[in-house]
Structure 1
């Protein structure tokens, strides 16, 4: 059974080579698998210039990948429009008040190391030795804007 994401493959080599997109010298054609693998980065404009060019050319010439890119773009627009709400003023005031309180609070951070070992004394008694060592200590004071 064929993968639903794969476009139909034309077995006629002469037709396939005639429809193959032309690319710049030194660059390779982009496959549907590569386009799907990099689609999110491509839509977020996080690809290298060469990859962006190859993906854009592939999406422009491949009906299947073009539809996938359009569907993903449409989904992102829907999500963006649904996330446009702002918090109620009371909640914003509470959060900002709490943040300003936290900014004015000093925080002390101390890192300690504890080692426990058992040792026999000269008289033959077993003694448990616990050593604690302060490895670092610092105070962070966060102040308002």
Structure 2
């Protein structure tokens, strides 16, 4: 496995930055280094391909969105909370669980919203 010396990237570094790399969130120099590593390392290329495949499955299974009326009500309520109740921040958390039973793949996505007051 290549080491980090001389600008090379290790498999450990690739794995540590895999999500950011696939999301195009790395600095350009890091992204270029990781891309070179994936091109040269079959092990990391397989891991990156598997992650991209998993993401494609999740996207295809989690395409359902809340109805526009519900979205409008939630956003309206949040606007009221922000304006009158001293809301410091609103955060949204989404977790996705993928399980496999033989050839059957189950994807479960859970979303929650947290409102913190000042």
Equivalence for 1:68: 47
Question: How far apart in 2 are the matches of 1:101 and 1:34?
Answer: 43
Match of 1:96 among 55, 59, 72: 72
Question: How far apart in 2 are the matches of 1:41 and 1:102?
Answer: 30
For this pair of structures, how many residues does the alignment match? 83
Gaps of 5+ in 2: 87-118
Please tell me the root mean square deviation across aligned C-alpha atoms, in Å.
2.8
> Which structure would you say has the larger Rg?
1
Q: What does the per-residue CA deviation read over 1:29-88, in whole Å, with 9 as the maximum and x for residues that have no partner?
A: 111111111111110111111111110001011000000000001111111111211334
Instruction: Give the TM-score normalised by structure 2.
Output: 0.57
Instruction: Give the TM-score normalised by structure 1.
Output: 0.47
Deviation at 1:93, TM superposition (A): 2.2
Residue 47 and residue 98 in structure 1: after superposition, are their counterparts in 2 closer, same or farther (change >3 A)? closer
For the pair 1:34 / 2:13, whether they are aligned, the reply is yes
Question: How far apart in 1 are the matches of 2:50 and 2:42?
Answer: 12
- 1:7-46 aligned within 5 A: 28-46=7-25
Deviation at 1:102, TM superposition (A): 6.2
Structure number with higher helix proportion:
2
Equivalence for 1:78: 57
Equivalence for 1:4: none
Q: Give the 4+ runs in structure 1 shifted more than 6 A.
A: none
